[in-house]
Amino acid sequence: MSDLGVARDLFSRALAVMVRLLPSHRSDWGQAMQAELAALDDVRARRRYALGCARAVLSDRAAMRTVAAHLIALTFGAFAFALAISIRAVGVRIQTIVFVVVLGVLAWSGRRSGLLGPIAEDRLARRIRSGGYAVLGAYIMPTLASIALVSPHHDRSGVWAFYLALTLYLATVLVATARHTAAPTRCLRLITVLTIAGLAAWWIPMLLYASVRAQPSWALLSVAVTVLLGLVVATALRWPTQQAALAALATGVATCLLIFLAAESTYLLDPQLVPDLGHVPGMTATGQVDQNRAEAVDPYVAEFLLGAVLGAVLIAGSSPRRSVRRTDTSLHV
């Protein structure tokens, strides 16, 4: 191939990479730029045009968000994989590597057409997906670090269930915000409102009253009420059955996850709130606090696993073939 041919091909490939950064609703613009570049024969003209297109793409906010998302994802993946291969227990190491790879595949699938993606056009869907990535990523990274640093003699036989639950949570976030699933804006708004209300209804009393902290069943009650409210509101507004079920299930998934994370964070940041479960002979004061915190969080694992199960049901009931137009822009409640 001649030097001119190599340069021509290089500019075409560079522009193709830049066009891939554009959001889907700007794809026509990207195709038009590529078509105009293909019509140019002069190498200098092609270079000037390709550089101008690159500047135009990089000035697009959505494209820059895509660049930032890719960089964050690559950084997260690199650190997560490094932690995975540093785990000393061979079985746990293999499970963790598989988990990290599956997360990467899910994130990649979230940008492709199908059940998990691409993301819906409305702003709320983008915010929910970004928030889901942030919450799960902020939880997964320190958790992997703690697993990597734990003693090889520590029992980690159930780590696969933990990884499976987190995988289902991520998949649920992707399905609920994908373009081809029945989750219009009004449905996402209801999910957001009920999730915040359900979390607050449990967390505020939990922070204020020792009796609530001593009875973790209050958290399960909060989840049940939010799911029921989702069904009641959707039914009262005469939403289609699939939308009503999605609203209820997604609300339950989000509430379960946030209650579990709130319980862990609360007891970690304020050890004085940890219920005293009694002194264990021979255990140091620090060890006693850690033991109490672990046992105080254990009941909330039920919410964590329940949310994963609800997410699995939501995913199983979703299909890109049964897509619903996302034309609703308000929540009439």
178 strand-pairing partners: 119
Comparing C-alpha atoms, which of 299, 303, 302, 274 is closest to residue 289? 274
Q: How far is CA 251 from the centre of its chain?
A: 14
Comparing C-alpha atoms, which of 60, 9, 66 is closest to residue 37? 9
Please tell me the pTM assigned to this model: 0.81
Residues 6+ apart with CB under 8 A from 144: 80, 83, 84, 96, 100
- pLDDT of amino acid 221: 94
Our CA angle for 89, 91, 96, nearest 5°, is 90
Please report, as a single letter, which amino acid is at residue 43: V
Residues 6+ apart with CB under 8 A from 290: none
Spatial distance between the Cα atoms of 118 and 116, rounded to a whole number of angstroms: 7
- pLDDT of amino acid 250: 95
User: Percentage helix, strand, coil, to 5, in the chain?
Assistant: 75, 0, 25
Residues 6+ apart with CB under 8 A from 226: 194, 195, 197, 198, 251, 252, 255
For the chain, residues with pLDDT lower than 70 are: 1-8, 21, 23-25, 150-155, 182, 277-287, 319-333
Spatial distance between the Cα atoms of 96 and 116, rounded to a whole number of angstroms: 23
- pLDDT of amino acid 277: 64
What are 76-107's pLDDT values in tens digits?
999 999 999 998 888 899 999 999 999 999 99
